[in-house]
Amino acid sequence: MKILIVDDSNFVRSLVGKTLEINFPIFVLLMASNGLEGYDLYRAEKPDLIVMDLLMPEMNGWELLKLIREEDPSVKIIVLSADVQKATREEIEKFGITAFIPKPFNKEKSEQLINIVKEEFGA
């Protein structure tokens, strides 16, 4: 199983990565610092789950989400973003995301992420 984490914040990538690594040591973690890197890794590795931000340089999360959905409407995607406007959330939910977790990524959000991964993958 492969999980791709796409976030321009090194701190957030590390935090999310550590959370997943500790709780799901059998998963292979892939990291990208922007949407363009994320898209390249997605195409090369075909991850089972993508955890991604919306606000990133090079290619933002909206563009990345659209491109991925064009290629694979069923891959699991969790959006982890500080953009918590109702309109934003409603718009990205149209793309069939698995979940939306608002930043900041803290202990409570970490537990939420762990529970979602357990539910989706029976891990």
* 66-86 confidence digits (pLDDT tens): 999 999 999 999 999 887 788
Domain 2-110 has CATH 3.90.1150.10: no
Pair 16, 105: CB distance under 8 Å:
yes
| Res 14: pLDDT | 96
Strands (E), 1-123: 2-6, 28-32, 49-52, 76-81, 99-102
Structure tokens given for 98: 């698995």
| Res 65: pLDDT | 94
| Res 108: pLDDT | 96
The rounded distance, in Å, linking the Cα atoms of 121 and 116 is 8
Boundaries of every domain in the chain: 2-110
| Phi/psi at 43 (5° precision) | -65, -35
Min mean pLDDT across 21-25, 27-31, 91-95 is at: 91-95
| Res 49: pLDDT | 97
